[in-house]
Amino acid sequence: MKNAVSGATFALAMTLSCGVGAAAPTEADLGSIVHNGRDVAGSSGSACTSGSGAGSGNGSGNCYGGSGSSSGSSGGTATDTTTTGPEMTSWLGAFAYGLANPDANPPGANDWNCKPTAAHPRPVVLLHGTWMNAYNGFAYMGQPMKDAGLCTFTFNYGRSNIIEGGGLGSFLPGVMGTGYIQDSSKQVAAFVDRVLAATGAGEVDIVAHSQGGALANWYTKFDGGAAKVKNLVTFGATHHGTSLDGIGALGRMINNMGIDILGPIEIFVGHAGIQQTIGSDFVNTLNAKGDTIAGVDYTVVGTRYDEITNPYELTFLKAVPGATVNNITLQEGCEQDISDHLTMLYSPRALSIALRALDPAGNHPLACTFNPWVVGGGGSI
């Protein structure tokens, strides 16, 4: 079915491109296009200059997402978590709990009396992804990180209602991460400063999922994070955007022909969702001067079964001088881990990769267990 959908999508793209001299890219082409720093489908201008998104809804006329929305509202606020929820091994169970308890705190996180030690000198900030929240993002990883001696902190960012551009998902109380990513980056900057002030540390490490990874990358490049982040560990991050199985790339191609198709879609998925499509102004600006920055160590994890960040290789980064990058495919050496975009946060192997990056002296074994897509938790809820 997936191949059929992709084939139909690109067949439609071929039809639409007839007469304008542009051939539709394959998903392999998209990966090459992004890594070579060119716009999708050879577009000569950004989504803004093609008329697809000027006045994107932040009230300033800036084309943040290149999406065509013009609500005039700056989307997204940040909120703290409150009562700690239960530890979960299943993504499905955690997601349900997080919807019913949108301000729940993941176990192990936000002990504001926790102080870094010589063995663990940096606190860890956890960033959830689009349409998720702090709890269902880290209900599995939070406590083991705490048990390893790490001080971990998290919050809900990008909390928007539908008027602010959060999309239809914002009707659900536990859906966060839908506001403009640039706004969310400033929320991250303020939260990191709070963590540094509370702990007395000079730097933080960040563990981030999906949009959270691209958001952290933006923070380090444009909002003062370069001097405050040492390690960035990402899972399924949309560093180079996503084709959404070809649909996002097709929409961007049509937008660049002067037909605003992504604007209406934004009503459903929210500002941040559209910003993460390949070729958006956000993605192009994020990587315009290289994937990474000097002084930060990156651990980048992707899964072959990622249905959101696809092709999944788009999550991987290239190091600039002074940066280190460790790109990891979750299934290398562990084929029985079939985690998808969401359940990778509930993968014992993913957790062990994070712990090894954050606590290299801790001798954490590299786990390898069955972890299915959709459910996670070894197949049990």
User: Could you count the other beta carbons within 10 Å of the beta carbon of residue 331?
Assistant: 17
Beta-carbon contacts of 233 under 8 Å, excluding residues fewer than 6 positions away, are 205, 206, 207, 208, 298, 299, 301, 353, 354, 357, 358
How far is the C-alpha of 157 from the C-alpha of 88, rounded, in Å? 22
What is the full per-residue pLDDT of the chain (381 aa) written as tens digits?
434 333 333 332 333 233 333 333 344 444 454 444 333 333 333 333 222 332 333 322 233 333 333 333 455 799 999 999 999 999 999 999 999 999 999 999 999 999 999 999 999 999 999 989 999 999 999 999 999 999 999 999 999 877 777 777 777 888 899 899 999 999 999 999 999 999 999 999 999 999 999 999 999 999 999 999 999 999 999 999 988 664 455 445 555 656 554 555 666 677 888 899 888 999 999 999 999 999 999 999 999 999 888 889 999 999 999 999 999 999 999 999 999 999 999 999 999 999 999 999 999 999 999 999 888 876 666
Query: Cα separations (Å) of 349 from 197, 303, 371?
Result: 32, 11, 9
Encode burial over 278-292: b for 16+ CB neighbours within 10 A, e otherwise: bbbbbbbebbeeebb
pLDDT value at position 374? Answer: 80
Record the tokens describing residue 6, joined without a space. Answer: 């992709």
What does the pLDDT read at residue 126? 98
User: What is the value of pTM for the model shown?
Assistant: 0.79
User: Backbone phi, then psi, for 67, in 5-degree steps?
Assistant: -110, -20
What residues contact 375, with CB distance under 8 A and at least 6 apart? 90, 91, 92, 343, 381
